[in-house]
Amino acid sequence: MKTPSSSATDLNKQGMEHMISMKDFSTKEMDNMMELMDYLKEARKDNAIPQLFEGKSVAMIFEAGSTRTRVSFEVAATLLGGHGLFLSPKDIHLGGKESIDDTARVLSRMCDIIMARTNEPETIDGLARMSTVPVINGLDTRFHPTQMLADLFTIKEHMKEGQKLSDLTLAFMGDATDVCRSLLLTCTKYGMNFKQIGPVKYQMEQEWLDIADEYCKESGASYEITDDVEKISECNVVYGDSFYWVTQYDEKEERLAAFMPDYVITEELMAKAQPGAMLLHCLPANDQEEVTREALEGDYSVAFDEAENRLTAQMAILVYFTNKFTVTPSEEVKKMHADKINNLLKTL
Ligand code: CP
């Protein structure tokens, strides 16, 4: 983390500075965040969420549309006593009249955390390079790290008694998307076995497999990239995502022809997976394309719990980074500032 302009930041606290990719944090840090998620979810059920983001703001830059990421960050900030600022390209100068560097520097001086969904990886990397506060990747064309926290937590909530994450094999059905790539790295880092099941043309790029190879050596996990749908029989978690992103509408017909019907998640496909297999989907879902409505509504589907856990994850992220980089002022310091200001006000 770079030296900030504010003295309210404790540089002695080490570890993850930004949350850009799955490479940025250790399994220990992810475990810590999931423990926080547990407590915050319980607190939310009791309507008793501690105000751990009070007086703080998260700048939320969205260059692309979002339902879950936008709403979950904004609601998380509110529930924790703080504020989320929604900043679309129409609202700020980023990408137009102002550089990424200057935008990061200015937002860092006013906000406590910057979260951004960007069209270009260079934008989120640039924000992180120049920001003096933590930068969270709310999805770029490479990674979706905040989705991963919600996904792992949801899998843990729904796996069978006595099962460990390392006992599971997750199958991602479809294209090597940001979510697929993030799952490959998360699973192999965490000791979970991973499969991408999809047509050869849309399979994972070698550079990410090289990183996964390193993770597998450490964790004992394995991965397989295959076009063989029958491999679903080895899987405990089936994961769906759109066959095309908003920037790929011009390829929609070609992609649908490549993926359908073989790689569509149907009730029949779920029946071929391991007994008790669960279905996750990052949403939004295109009914009758990558997943059928019947499968999405099946007893095995945890897609809407997963969506709700985006809120649980964002609460944990805001609390985690606030705790890591903010010094809580003593009552003495608070009183000293209040007295000075009130004394001045009496003279005005
Ligand atoms: N899964 C996900 O990121 O959803 P949104 O695009 O709605 O944020």
Ligand 1 atom at shortest distance from the alpha carbon of 69: 8
Residue 263 located in a structural domain: yes
Residue 195 located in a structural domain: yes
CA-nearest residue for atom 3, ligand 1, is 69
Q: Identify whether the C-beta of residue 117 lies closer than 8 Å to the C-beta of residue 62.
A: yes
**Residue 1: predicted pLDDT:** 28
Same domain, 178 and 299: yes
Active site residue 187: no
Same domain, 232 and 197: yes
Residues 284 and 166: their CA atoms lie apart, in Å, by: 28
Active site residue 196: no
Question: What DSSP element (H or E) covers 226?
Answer: strand 223-226
Residues 148 and 33: their CA atoms lie apart, in Å, by: 12
What CATH number does the domain containing 234 carry? Answer: 3.40.50.1370
Å from CA of 348 to ligand 1 middle: 50
CB of 139 sitting under 6 A from ligand 1: yes
**Residue 319: predicted pLDDT:** 97
Active site residue 68: no
Counted domains in the chain: 2
Kindly give the confidence (pLDDT) of every residue in the chain, 348 residues in length, as a single tens digit, with 9 standing for 90 and above: 233 333 333 333 445 689 998 888 899 999 999 999 999 999 999 999 999 999 999 999 999 999 999 999 999 999 999 999 999 988 888 877 899 999 999 999 999 999 999 999 999 999 999 999 999 999 998 999 999 999 999 999 999 999 999 999 999 999 999 999 999 999 999 999 999 999 999 999 999 999 999 999 999 999 999 999 999 999 999 999 999 987 888 999 999 999 999 999 999 999 999 999 999 999 999 988 999 999 999 999 999 999 999 999 999 999 999 998 888 889 999 999 999 999 999 999
- Residue 327 DSSP code: P
Closest residue by Cα to residue 149 from 283, 316, 326, 345: 316
State the pTM of this model.
0.93
CA-nearest residue for atom 6, ligand 1, is 66
Residue 333 located in a structural domain: no
Closest residue by Cα to residue 123 from 70, 64, 53, 79: 64
Tokens representing 43 are 């607190």
Residues 124 and 251: their CA atoms lie apart, in Å, by: 26
Q: What are phi and psi of 132, to 5 degrees?
A: -100, 5
Same domain, 97 and 52: yes
For residue 51, how many other CB atoms are within 10 A of its CB?
Answer: 11
Residue 7 located in a structural domain: no
Q: Which of 60, 62, 66 to mutate to test the pocket of ligand 1 (most atoms within 8 A of CB)?
A: 66
Q: Which of 118, 139, 178, 305 to mutate to test the pocket of ligand 1 (most atoms within 8 A of CB)?
A: 139
Same domain, 108 and 171: no
Exposure of 91 by Cβ count < 10 A (0-12 exposed, 13-18 middle, 19+ buried)? exposed
CA-nearest residue for atom 4, ligand 1, is 68
